[in-house]
Amino acid sequence: MNLTRDLEMGFKTAKPMDEASPFTFLDLRAQFRGIRDEVEAAIRLVMESQHFILGPEVESLEDEIAEFVGCRFAIACASGSDALLLALMALGIGPGDEVVTTPFTFVATAGSIARLGARPVFADIDSATFNLNASALAAAITSRTRAILPVHLFGLPAEMDPILEIAELHKLAVIEDAAQAIGAKYRGRTVGSMGTMGCLSFFPSKNLGGAGDGGMITTDDPVLADRLKVLRVHGSRKKYCYELLGMNSRLDALQAAILRVKLRHLSEWTAARQRNAQRYRSLFEQCGLLSDVVLPSAPAELEHVYNQFVVHVPNREQIRNTLQESGIPTEIYYPSPLHLQPAFAGLGYRVGDFPEAERTCQEVLALPIYPELTEEQQKAVVTSIARSIEHAH
């Protein structure tokens, strides 16, 4: 009998569920152990209903996310990438338009802009926060700019007050890419509720991850909400009548049912990520590493939700190898900024255009931060980094 189950993450080959987990970068099987009964019951109900696309489970999730984010409407779709695409489509963005965003992000942020024939215009980041630098952003606005697309990278909110001020001044829409930051707060406001629209991803490795792809757009604007609902079903409101050029991007009921179970646990998981971040801070300090390792910035008025715990280190390759030899997994988010990727070569950017983003790509190292991570594992991470740095000195 084969008890092996695969949660399809691709991070590790599946092992029987009851075997102790090896040290993985993200351990979703540990999370599943705690919610298996609830998830299986939710899946069973959907199977009994045989209602698979949109429908009551999806509507309930939309209501719950709208309430969680603190905005009037939430519209579910097939992925976070589609959420960005649909948000831009709802604004009618296309050829001739420019959208200003960051070059230090996941490809979908700028890809969604380019996919619609519009031009992604990059502005440099602040290497301490990894987010858009507001003065660089202001300098990138032209007469063709239609929107600003800030990313709340790794779970830390972007500098929304200056961004919203710039948008107001130039009459621009703001689309928040909150794919990595569900529940994060900027001066008391939840991400996804501050801009014209907010985009969430339910990719399995995000803080609220489904058993596959999924996404959501949040907004307070009833006209945009209505248009998004039409756009995600082929531009159709009435059967076989197509008022807009839309797409097929809907959320499955099975995903919604699983996400509703997981949403009930999100606050406790976020608190565990924050506790782990705090623990890393104490451990790095105790080991006297704060002059070598730059920890993530976490200003008091911002609530970081730590989808990733990304540090700046010297001699990254050496540290990464030492960690790997001790069986400690790390990742690099992101090895190259988007303006230097082949897919965006047509935009004409060059090495040196965004020095902060470029330097950051050379220095960053993401350490495991998932909620179930133990203190023992964190100590192993920090002592291994200490050993590698001592060696180098």
Applying CB under 6 A, which residues contact ligand PLP?
79-81, 105-106, 108-109, 151, 177, 179-180, 201, 203, 213, 215
Query: Strand 302-303 vs strand 185-186: parallel, antiparallel, or unpaired?
Result: antiparallel
Burial of 238 (C-beta count, 10 Å sphere; 0-12/13-18/19+): exposed
Nearest distance in Å: CB 264, ligand PLP: 21
Residue (149 or 323) nearer to ligand PLP, CB:
149
Nearest distance in Å: CB 199, ligand PLP: 7
Residue (284 or 344) nearer to ligand PLP, CB:
344
CA 233, 259, 263, 277: dihedral to nearest 10 degrees? -110
**Collapsed DSSP state (helix, strand, coil) of residue 382:** helix
Nearest distance in Å: CB 163, ligand PLP: 16
> Strands, DSSP E only, in the chain?
73-77, 98-101, 119-122, 145-149, 173-177, 185-186, 189-190, 197-201, 215-219, 236-238, 241-242, 302-303, 309-312, 364-367
Nearest distance in Å: CB 74, ligand PLP: 15
Residue (195 or 215) nearer to ligand PLP, CB:
215
Nearest distance in Å: CB 180, ligand PLP: 5
Nearest distance in Å: CB 112, ligand PLP: 8
Nearest distance in Å: CB 80, ligand PLP: 2
Nearest to 291 by CA among 152, 393, 174: 393
Residue (81 or 384) nearer to ligand PLP, CB:
81
Are 85 and 248 spatial neighbours (Cβ–Cβ below 8 Å)? no
Residue (119 or 206) nearer to ligand PLP, CB:
206
Chain centroid offset of residue 351 CA: 26
Query: What tokens were used for 259?
Result: 């996400």
Q: In the bound complex, which residue of the shown chain has the CB atom lying closest to ligand PLP?
A: 80
Residue (163 or 179) nearer to ligand PLP, CB:
179
Nearest to 101 by CA among 186, 189, 191, 173: 173
**Residue where the block lists tokens 């697309």:** 149
Residue (109 or 219) nearer to ligand PLP, CB:
109
Nearest distance in Å: CB 104, ligand PLP: 10
Nearest distance in Å: CB 307, ligand PLP: 8
Residue (76 or 283) nearer to ligand PLP, CB:
76
**Residue where the block lists tokens 């606050």:** 267
Nearest to 382 by CA among 319, 337, 338: 319
CA 265, 198, 228, 201: dihedral to nearest 10 degrees? -50
**Percentages of the chain per state (helix, strand, coil), in multiples of 5:** 40, 15, 45
Residue (109 or 190) nearer to ligand PLP, CB:
109
Query: What tokens were used for 40?
Result: 């299986």
CA separation (Å) from 276 to 74, 242, 294, 330, 370?
30, 50, 16, 16, 8
